[in-house]
Structure 1
């Protein structure tokens, strides 16, 4: 199965059992703390996330897949380049994973092809493919199937590949031998915790999503809490800081797939130019991209916050003009964030 996986662009294939009962108390506590924020589906699905055989009746094993996503041409020392972007206040920074094609589409199609390969070898079998698309404890399943260990930032870490990868699963009605899990290798390192701009990693292995910039810029539907806005810098979609700080990501793998190559305009664009995108231009530029799912309104909200943070550092006539134009936007959410941003320049 590993050979088929590599042919399809996967970096590693593993197998996990379906008894995740030991993960249930932690999941329940995380929900009880409200750390899931506005992600109501987390609460709604409850323990089904930790019970694969309830989510898909008949499931006996879970095939897990890891797919590296750094573009093929990513140079050595890429982390330093990304840190430098975060020190360029007039530039909008999109998380590395979101600069290419939507990974959901890429992973889902290739997991289905892997399922077809298996069926070709053993005959028809019951299965269902998942890619960050249902109540699945992806990181837990990945860790149990030898893909890596849970880092202090809660992401899965591999000694061979760091954490710059996507995860996917195939729930199968086959009793397959489980892969051996690997031991943890974070040691006393706390670089990810110290690097988080908003202090969202409240303890090793505990993330308060309500403070996480990835959550705030992607999942959060309304106004971004004013006290967190200055901490977001120029991050307009997602945040990579905990991964940039992690020493294991010097081993991050490059993807052989052109799908994850960076699209034009997804890095280096000025905030003023991004604020000027009409809804039509937003939809055109984000076609086939994971960014499209947040919609134009949240996009402008995010960029406005970054613009306010830039104006706090230095005045910029282009930014002011772009924000001024948004004060007449039909969305109250956009108007409020634009007004806040203009106020930062006056402070």
Structure 2
């Protein structure tokens, strides 16, 4: 069966989609196929983007944002239950809901080795693909599963000429049978992302997600509006670094807590949370981070008593709870305790 159209009224099952040709993203009409309507970044958001970083400082355990020379960032257009989506470029302040953390994996220097770019969507890694094997205007999309009939793009970074005081910028391209296809998109407002041999390549800068410390109390209140929560911030830093699921899990494994079991009064839930928080600080130290991680201690109560765990803020600006006794991560809103105190 040939797939001629994917639209909001008729989306074939995933097992049918995987083996078929995906049509290119529609143009700006009909209107229902455009990216979702802009939703302005809330004034009380706790998230900001870092200064531009150097390409050689890429880490596979960090989350990034790609920003082009027009001030737009890489976004994903997907439905609520979709397992793939088109890539597009748009303003962060208008489409922040469509911005997902980017992970790069390179085997060596990004400027002379091929690597992959993926998005973290609802805890899953979505790989980047080209819509076809052509050498012009192949649309870029991300998918949660393997797409054997579409090229899984291996990207190379090409550093752009940089004048004194300018941001470090680079282009990204994929070699399709020795033809370099660069990531490109029209410069007018939001626009679909594609691979092209003839259009001007986008010039990207690389940024991290930072958390504004003074806005953490508002984030706590929004997450637990009915909780009477004591919040203590023991640091003077203006910002801290958002933490990915991968990094939070890596800290747990490095902490050695897997080898410990709960022992009342001697090594209880609070001790587990202290060790995890201490390991997070050590991890940031050895990783030569510029800022501390947005990781803290969380206490709460329910009908069965009190409990202590760890809390962190992810690159989407959402609170996550990590249970240091087994490493499980869950949404903070779903924690089965009523929060009583946070220390960050």
TM-score range, shorter chain: under 0.3
TM-score normalised by length of structure 2: 0.28
Identify, as 1 or 2, the structure richer in strand: 2
Q: Which has the larger radius of gyration?
A: 2
Identify, as 1 or 2, the structure richer in helix: 1
